[in-house]
Structure 1
Amino acid sequence: MHINVRGTRKIISNVSSFTPRYEFPKYSMPLTDFKGHQVKALKTFEKLLPQMNMIIELRDIRAPLSTRNVVFDRIARKEHDVMKLVVYTRKDLMPGNKPYIGKLKNWHEELGEKFILLDCRNKTDVRNLLKILEWQNYELETNGGYLPMGYRALITGMPNVGKSTLINSLRTIFHNQGNMGRKFKKVAKTGAEAGVTRATSEVIRVTSRNTESRNEIYLIDTPGIGVPGRVSDHNRMLGLALCGSVKNNLVDPIFQADYLLYLMNLQNLNDGRTELYPGSTNSPTNDIYDVLRRLQVNKSQNEKSTAIEWTNKWRLHGKGIIFDPEVLLNNDEFSYKNYVNDQLEKLGDLSYEGLSNKLKGNPNQVF
């Protein structure tokens, strides 16, 4: 999908002679990282869903469209009557942007969705999510819903959006409540690269029975699931790459760096105070190779390694940059509800038959 964000010109750079790009080129790249083990996980999801009381889908706050997975919408069909909560992670990397949060609120109200923002490593944020789980469990039990298997929530999302980190944080809070002084081991494997969790884990308890509730609360960690190629496009793939939700070597680092530059120039977050890249305040440019030359510490550093270092820095620590350009558009220029409906139409009905064999060794597979 080609996005023209010319309508955002009023917020562009304070350097009057500079004009940012309003469209990004369609580089040749894979449009999906959907793999065989993810197909197996989706089959497991559908089997587990009737046992679930809640689906918690994690998305990266910097890329609300790229990290939204329409496959989960298709699986969690209305007949299952399962509550869904969207959790935007890495809120520490998007501080103080009230207009953006307001836009997210409007988007989710259109679809009747509930969402919260949190930092998966922040104890206060994680406790707030735990309170939501406890309250939903309490309401269910108040209405006569004793659950012999406990209250169960499925943790889903794209690769590397913080699922396992969140589960470990919730488990740590539970562990510290009744096991002071004992060494705690992580229950969910974490890592900085996509694809660390590759199988649906066993149930993980995060609360016990107490005087207020007979239901224990359990979480199920799941592998990150990408989207099929037919519902992806260049913007979505580049957004996922900048979030770290696809393998590092899948999208050329120069393409990633160029996309980051494109987004930076559009959003103009420096306001003349902080440089987003060397010279961004006084001499902004649309030339990624010019930026990479400015970033090079020494002559032995090549363009590709410089691009990797720069994008990794922003992926892990960069604050304030939105990775989906559609977010910059006005409501009359972009409809979130229409976008989601279009994604569902493109996805159609899921078919798993023989898909694993077709996917093997082919990251460009579209199904």
Structure 2
Amino acid sequence: MTIQWFPGHMAKAKREVSEKLKFVDIVFELVDARLPLSSRNPLLDQILQQKPRLVILNKADLADPQQTRLWQGYFESLGFAAVTVNAHDSSATKRVIQAAKLALKEKIARDKARGLKPRSIRAMVVGIPNVGKSTLMNRLVGKKIAQTGNKPGVTKGQQWLRSGTDLELLDTPGILWPKFEDPDVGKKLALTGAIKDQLLHLDDIAIFGLDFFARYYPGRISQRYRLTEVEEALPAAEMLMVITEKRGYKDDYDRGSELVVVEVRQNKLGSFTLDRYEEMGVGSGETRVDK
């Protein structure tokens, strides 16, 4: 499955991010902790270049904790600061601010030595759609300013927001890249809701999700959908047919597919991480950036 989706507002956002970099001290790059690598836009490395960066693994409460620890270590091995958060949790603000100050400690020390008055950190928030940018922004500023929605493409324009005396935040629209060369990346993004459902075949995504859970979290499917061991061992397409029938949808496999996808997104099958650290070929951390 090759997915191509690059709306005009995303192309404009890419240009605006490049233009506004000079106004910020650091970039907050949000990724989904359930797919830390697949939810990164590879174009951002070209755009952001050597600008200090804090990678925020959001939705950590929905992800596999062991995998999240490995991925945080991976980003740190690249020379980035990294922090794990749940944007809905009140502790997220303190964790992000502390991590940002630590990432900029050398700059802060230089400014102090030059006799400059302390000022708030200016940060740009970037990430692909549906990684929780608006939710985090609202958490950081302590009120609902940034628009949120459980679907991609909610934020359409840039806006500055103030977080107490510590942070000034520049929000940006989510930026997807023009095409996903790796079909599994597209399926992972689709399963977590980063791509509009209208662009997908939900049965393909449901089958992908069932196959993933059967492989990495055995027993969860049978527990959720009351399958026998024999039924859970079926190929994912046949398993979807069984689930559809058991839920009383007869042969309405579109409805069965929607059920599976929605329940995976709602963590009805438990926390999970789609990007498996041990299988993504990133363990060496050979690529570094200058802070």
State the alpha-carbon separation in 1 of the partners of residues 215 and 287 from structure 2.
Answer: 24
1:275 maps to which residue?
A: 223
Q: Which amino acid aligns with 2:204?
A: F
Report Cα offsets for 1:75-128 as digits up to 9, x if no partner: 0112xxx21011111111125x32x23432442244222211110000013321
1:287 maps to which residue?
A: 236
How many Å apart are 1:293 and its aligned residue?
3.1
Which of these residues, 278, 281, 286, is aligned with residue 334 of structure 1? 281
State the alpha-carbon separation in 1 of the partners of residues 183 and 192 from structure 2.
Answer: 14
How many Å apart are 1:222 and its aligned residue?
1.1
Which of these residues, 187, 193, 196, is aligned with residue 154 of structure 2? 196
- CA pair 340-295 structure 1, distance change in 2 beyond 3 A: farther
How many Å apart are 1:34 and its aligned residue?
1.8
After TM superposition, which residue ranges in structure 1, 4 or more long, deviate above 3 angstroms? 133-142, 145-150, 269-272, 280-283, 335-341
SS in 1 for 2:174: coil
Return 5+ residue gaps in structure 2 as ranges: none
Which of these residues, 227, 238, 242, is aligned with residue 177 of structure 2? 227
2:111 is the alignment partner of 1:144: yes
What are the within-5 Å matches in structure 2 for residues 35-114 of structure 1?
35-78=7-50, 82-95=51-64, 97-98=65-66, 100-114=67-81
How many Å apart are 1:290 and its aligned residue?
3.4
- CA pair 301-152 structure 1, distance change in 2 beyond 3 A: farther
State the alpha-carbon separation in 2 of the partners of residues 299 and 243 from structure 1.
Answer: 24
SS in 2 for 1:275: helix
State the alpha-carbon separation in 1 of the partners of residues 120 and 70 from structure 2.
Answer: 36
Which of these residues, 137, 158, 166, is aligned with residue 128 of structure 2? 158
State the alpha-carbon separation in 1 of the partners of residues 147 and 238 from structure 2.
Answer: 37
Return 5+ residue gaps in structure 1 as ranges: 1-28, 173-183, 209-215, 342-367
Structure of greater relative contact order (alpha carbons < 8 Å, 6+ residues apart): 1
Report Cα offsets for 1:151-204 as digits up to 9, x if no partner: 2101111100000000001111xxxxxxxxxxx5x2100001111112222x10
Identity %, equivalent residues: 24
On the 8 A contact 1:206/1:217 being kept in 2, the answer is yes
Report the RMSD for the aligned CA atoms in angstroms. 2.9
On the 8 A contact 1:155/1:222 being kept in 2, the answer is yes
State the alpha-carbon separation in 2 of the partners of residues 171 and 102 from structure 1.
Answer: 27
State the alpha-carbon separation in 2 of the partners of residues 154 and 168 from structure 1.
Answer: 14
1:365 maps to which residue?
A: none
Which of these residues, 225, 248, 254, is aligned with residue 203 of structure 2? 254
State the alpha-carbon separation in 2 of the partners of residues 137 and 338 from structure 1.
Answer: 22
On the 8 A contact 2:130/2:150 being kept in 1, the answer is yes
How many Å apart are 1:244 and its aligned residue?
0.7
2:89 is the alignment partner of 1:117: no
Which of these residues, 192, 200, 208, is aligned with residue 243 of structure 1? 192
State the alpha-carbon separation in 1 of the partners of residues 197 and 286 from structure 2.
Answer: 27
On the 8 A contact 1:193/1:248 being kept in 2, the answer is no
- CA pair 32-323 structure 1, distance change in 2 beyond 3 A: farther
Q: Which amino acid aligns with 1:192?
A: N
Normalised by the length of structure 1, the TM-score is 0.69
Greater C-alpha radius of gyration: 1
- CA pair 140-334 structure 1, distance change in 2 beyond 3 A: closer
State the alpha-carbon separation in 2 of the partners of residues 143 and 337 from structure 1.
Answer: 32
State the alpha-carbon separation in 2 of the partners of residues 157 and 125 from structure 1.
Answer: 17
1:322 maps to which residue?
A: 273
- CA pair 134-335 structure 1, distance change in 2 beyond 3 A: closer
